[in-house]
Structure 1
Amino acid sequence: MNVYEKPAAEPRLTSLSHGGGCGCKIAPGVLTEILQRQGGLPVPPQLLVGIETADDAAVYRLNDQQALIATTDFFMPIVDDPYDFGRIAATNAISDVYAMGGTPILALAIVGMPVNVLSTATIGRILEGGQSVCQAAGIPIAGGHTIDSVEPIYGLVALGLVHPDRVRRNADARPGDRLVLGKPLGVGVLSAAFKKEQLDAAGYARMIATTTRLNTPGPALAALPGVHALTDVTGFGLAGHALEMARGAGCQVALDWSRVPVLPGVRDWIAQGCVTGASGRNWQGYGAEVASDLPPAEQALLSDPQTSGGLLVACAPEAVAEVLALFRAQGFDAAADIGEVQPWAAGPRLTVRA
């Protein structure tokens, strides 16, 4: 069912886009091929994090006490309610600052809208949704850019600050680390059910609640000595972002699948065929690097694209209790210890233990 009642003269937002949320991402295999052709640009010593490990944001040292985090994220609608779309897109963009261990300081809006199809009132509600999230994060939207486009697009450039010693890259996991996931999986499945007009009000509420929850534990996690690496789980799914962590660190990641949190009802929707096309494209891009005997339904969840997903933390075993307590103190009750980082010599980078 659709919770948002659209104006009679306007189409559903999701009907205007070929994909929604982080499911819009270019497939990982295609992206790798594109990026292999890039290079040759100067890399100043102040650039602490660039494109080399597919991290969540760029980080540039300003001085001994401050480094600037810079990131951008935008996509087409994952829901029909314009206010909710704006909230989800803004939360997702700001997450990359938190995933580097930083504190956001300001944002710029990225807006592309089919102005001959959508009313100014609808477009305004999308922007208001984004503004509400920035207000919750304590930052202004200080500018941006708008274009007339065929599909609705909204997102942010997000900037933040972090102490250079507290930058937490995705590539700094160590053998022996435990992995903690901050949010449950299943957003892509729920979005597929929504697009088919099958999602009930309870499922929609769960989807909105998780996709609009800011990953605010990031800076506090980065301040813990036992936390070595951070990333957030978004369009490439848990498997894809765990693989990025493993590749960057030169390690292997092992997941205990039974410990991975999943949103209520998600497996029922998978059984009804509610799986995104992005899940299959993800698996096609990196499945050869995964050792798993999961059945197809669980494999689809492993590669399910997460719009505004949770933080994935690599930490020393003795820090797990403190990491989980920090998550739960900020309302992330589903946070769980889901696996470990292991040495790697050859073979699959990711092992999933049923």
Structure 2
Amino acid sequence: MLSPIVRLTDLAHGGGCGCKLAPSVLQKLLADQPKAAPFAQLLVGTETGDDAAVWQIDDETCVIATTDFFMPVVDDPRDFGRIAATNAISDIYAMGGRPIMALAILGMPLGKLPIETVRAILAGGASICAEAGIPVAGGHSIDSVEPIYGLAVIGLCRPENVRKNSGAQPGDVLILTKGLGVGVYSAAFKKQALPDGAYDEMIASTTLLNKIGQVLGGDTDVHGITDVTGFGLLGHGLELARGARMRLTIAWDKIPLLADAERLVKAGYITGASGRNWASYGEQVVLPPLLQDWQRALLTDPQTSGGLLIACAPDRAQALRASIKGAGYPRASIIGSVAEGAPAVEII
């Protein structure tokens, strides 16, 4: 691990996807934006809060475009770059697409960080792009108050392979591909309370590319996909519920967690974003009476470079889960189901 002279996380007021604006704030900002309806080739815009925009070029080709960037969630600059790149590329996979190139987005506080640290951030991001099989073809940089890094990513897919978060159908089963708890881990890390083994687990999860999304996009039994990031499992589950106009039921005891997540959240390592998330959408969530505060904190925990939440046909769920696990996602779990009803998420 490369140790910077200054802790990167000390230069940022937040970190990772915990930096995202609260869902309620974002909704207000977008409320008066012009609709994209006149553009018939724009298959996915801002209407459903999907993971990326999709533009249809012809009968066989769609372009997928996304951007994502944030402040450091860790201090090692190369790890920061790797996490940010993995997180940005995930949006392409979440739409069922294949990434083809990326542009770097860089903001650094000049005079506070040595050039070697910034180079390591860029190298970390480039290494993940190489793993995804794409180049970093350019980018833009500015002098900023806090360190910021991310990517704009372009991808391709066939029109029939686009997987929106609005595609879930009644009776579908929900699969989650990664464990929850990244925000809790990052809160503990910032206070220097995260064990080395837990750090390694966090890096392994946050730098695991969601490549399986491209495969799932070609499966007709997969009806909807979104990735779980800054709004937590409940927030992104609600986006899927609202998009499909369905009700999700999720079983708490089926949700995969990072190994130390329960211990750390009970010790009080919770991000501010967790509370902001709940304040934004809690009225559309049904919780069991005995659910404890620490459990709710994990349900709203911001996931930096989190897993995919997948809605699929019930008779294929077990086979799909097995194939996802076999593809390198050992925590992939069946966590719930989809039913007709007013958009909401119920935890049982």
Q: TM-score per shorter chain, which class?
A: over 0.9
Partner of 2:317: 320
User: For 1:111 and 1:323, how far apart are their aligned partners in 2?
Assistant: 38
Give the alignment partner of residue 235 of structure 1, picking from 230, 233, 238. 230
Partner of 2:3: 5
Contact 1:226 1:318 in 2 (8 A): no
User: For 2:331 and 2:8, how far apart are their aligned partners in 1?
Assistant: 30
Q: Deviations over 1:54-102 (max 9, x none)?
A: 0000000011111000000000000000000000000000000000000
Contact 2:36 2:42 in 1 (8 A): no
User: For 2:87 and 2:52, how far apart are their aligned partners in 1?
Assistant: 13
Q: Deviations over 1:258-297 (max 9, x none)?
A: 0000000111001111000000000000011100032100
Shift of 1:186: 0.4
Identical-pair percentage: 55
Pair 1:270-2:265 in alignment: yes
Pair 1:121-2:116 in alignment: yes
Partner of 2:329: 332
SS in 1 for 2:224: strand
Q: What are the within-5 Å matches in structure 2 for residues 300-311 of structure 1?
A: 300-311=297-308
User: For 1:6 and 1:136, how far apart are their aligned partners in 2?
Assistant: 25
User: For 1:326 and 1:95, how far apart are their aligned partners in 2?
Assistant: 19
User: For 1:38 and 1:295, how far apart are their aligned partners in 2?
Assistant: 38
User: For 1:240 and 1:343, how far apart are their aligned partners in 2?
Assistant: 19
Q: What are the within-5 Å matches in structure 2 for residues 201-212 of structure 1?
A: 201-212=196-207
Query: CA 1:184–1:40 in 2, change beyond 3 Å: closer, same or farther?
Result: closer
Contact 1:239 1:302 in 2 (8 A): yes
Contact 2:4 2:77 in 1 (8 A): no
Shift of 1:127: 0.1
Partner of 1:94: 89
User: For 2:241 and 2:293, how far apart are their aligned partners in 1?
Assistant: 23
Unmatched tracts of structure 2, length 5 or more: none
Shift of 1:116: 1.2
Question: How many residues of Structure 1 are paired with residues of Structure 2 in the alignment?
Answer: 346
Give the TM-score normalised by the residue count of structure 2. Answer: 0.98
Give the alignment partner of residue 126 of structure 2, picking from 125, 128, 131. 131
SS in 2 for 1:245: helix
Q: What are the within-5 Å matches in structure 2 for residues 95-110 of structure 1?
A: 95-110=90-105
User: For 1:337 and 1:6, how far apart are their aligned partners in 2?
Assistant: 40
Structure 1 stretches of at least 4 aligned residues deviating more than 4 Å after TM superposition = none
Which letter maps to 1:309?
G
User: For 1:317 and 1:58, how far apart are their aligned partners in 2?
Assistant: 28
User: For 1:43 and 1:30, how far apart are their aligned partners in 2?
Assistant: 26
Give the alignment partner of residue 281 of structure 1, picking from 253, 276, 301. 276
SS in 1 for 2:328: coil
Shift of 1:316: 0.6
SS in 2 for 1:87: helix
Query: CA 1:197–1:134 in 2, change beyond 3 Å: closer, same or farther?
Result: same
Contact 1:76 1:153 in 2 (8 A): yes
Q: What are the within-5 Å matches in structure 2 for residues 186-265 of structure 1?
A: 186-265=181-260
SS in 1 for 2:49: coil
Give the TM-score normalised by the residue count of structure 1. Answer: 0.96
Give the alignment partner of residue 148 of structure 1, picking from 143, 167, 174. 143
Which letter maps to 2:3?
E
User: For 1:285 and 1:40, how far apart are their aligned partners in 2?
Assistant: 23
* Aligned-residue RMSD, C-alpha: 1.0
Q: What are the within-5 Å matches in structure 2 for residues 154-193 of structure 1?
A: 154-193=149-188
Contact 1:92 1:307 in 2 (8 A): yes
Which letter maps to 1:43?
P
Shift of 1:43: 3.4
Partner of 1:25: 20
Contact 1:221 1:326 in 2 (8 A): no
**Please, which moves more after superposition, 314-323 or 118-127?**
314-323
SS in 2 for 1:115: coil
